[in-house]
Amino acid sequence: MLSTTTTTLLLAASSLVAAQTTVNGSDNFVNAAFKAFTGDQFQKYTLTAAGINASFIPYGARLTNLYVCDQNGTMQDVVVGYDNATQYLHDSETNHTYFGAVVGRYANRIKNGTFEIDGQTSTIPDNEHGGLNPLHGGFVGYDQQNWTIASQTGNSITFVFYDQAQQGFPGDLLNVATYTLTDEPAWISRIVSIPLNDATPIMLANHVYWNLGAFVDEEAVTVLNDTLYMPYADRIIEVDSILIPTGAIN
Ligand SMILES: *[C@@H]1O[C@H](CO)[C@@H](O)[C@H](O)[C@H]1NC(C)=O
Ligand SMILES: *[C@@H]1O[C@H](CO)[C@@H](O)[C@H](O)[C@H]1NC(C)=O
Ligand SMILES: *[C@@H]1O[C@H](CO)[C@@H](O)[C@H](O)[C@H]1NC(C)=O
Ligand SMILES: *[C@@H]1O[C@H](CO)[C@@H](O)[C@H](O)[C@H]1NC(C)=O
Ligand SMILES: *[C@@H]1O[C@H](CO)[C@@H](O)[C@H](O)[C@H]1NC(C)=O
Ligand SMILES: *[C@@H]1O[C@H](CO)[C@@H](O)[C@H](O)[C@H]1NC(C)=O
Ligand SMILES: *[C@@H]1O[C@H](CO)[C@@H](O)[C@H](O)[C@H]1NC(C)=O
Ligand SMILES: *[C@@H]1O[C@H](CO)[C@@H](O)[C@H](O)[C@H]1NC(C)=O
Q: What is the pLDDT along the chain (250 residues), one digit of tens a residue?
A: 322 232 222 222 232 233 334 455 566 666 666 778 889 999 999 999 999 999 999 999 999 999 999 999 999 999 999 999 999 999 999 999 999 999 999 999 999 999 999 999 999 999 999 999 999 999 999 999 999 999 999 999 999 999 999 999 999 999 999 999 999 999 999 999 999 999 999 999 999 999 999 999 998 999 998 888 999 999 999 999 999 999 999 9
Cα of 149 vs centre of ligand 4, distance in Å, is 24
The residue among 36, 38, 174 whose CA lies nearest residue 105 is 174
Q: Give the per-residue pLDDT at 26.
A: 62
Spacing of C-alpha 234 from chain mean position: 24
Residue 35: per-residue pLDDT: 75
Query: Of 60, 34, 225, 26, which is closest to residue 140 (Cα–Cα)?
Result: 60
pLDDT, residue 36, reads 80
The answer to whether the CB of 221 falls within 8 A of the CB of 201 is: no
Instruction: Return the best residue to mutate from 41, 42, 84 for the ligand 4 pocket (most ligand atoms within 8 A of CB).
Output: 84
Between the CA of 26 and the centroid of ligand 5 the distance, in Å, is 42
Q: Note whether 181 and 156 are within 8 A (CB).
A: yes
Pocket-testing residue among 40, 41, 89, ligand 7, by greatest number of atoms within 8 A of Cβ: 41
What was the pLDDT predicted at 226? 87
* Cα gap 55→75, rounded to integer Å: 14
Which pTM was predicted? Answer: 0.84
Instruction: Compute how many other C-beta atoms are within 10 angstroms of the C-beta atom of residue 240.
Output: 10
List Cβ neighbours of 95 (8 Å cut-off, separation of 6 or more). none
- Contact call for residues 64 and 56 (beta carbons, < 8 A): yes
DSSP per position, 91-153: HHHTT---TTEEE-SB-SB-GGGEEEETTEEEE----BTTTTB-BTTSSS-GGGSBPEEEEE-
Regarding beta strands 186-195 and 101-103, do their DSSP bridges make them parallel or antiparallel, or are they unpaired? unpaired
Q: Quick check: helix, strand or coil at residue 160? A: strand
Gap from CA of 71 to ligand 2 centroid (Å): 8
Kindly report the protein residue whose alpha carbon is nearest to atom 11 of ligand 4.
Answer: 84
Q: Residue 32: its pLDDT value, please?
A: 65
Q: What's the confidence (pLDDT) of residue 23?
A: 53
Residue 97's pLDDT is: 97
Q: How far is the CA of 175 from the centre of ligand 6 (A)?
A: 29
Ordered by where they begin, the domains of the chain are 4-249 (2.70.98.10)
- Please give the torsion angle defined by the CA atoms of residues 62, 97, 171 and 23, in that order, rounded to the nearest 10 degrees: -10
Q: Is 75 in the pocket of ligand 7 (CB under 6 A)?
A: no
What's the DSSP call for residue 207?
E
pLDDT attached to residue 119? 96
Per-residue CA distances from 48 to 58, 81, 205 (Å):
18, 18, 23
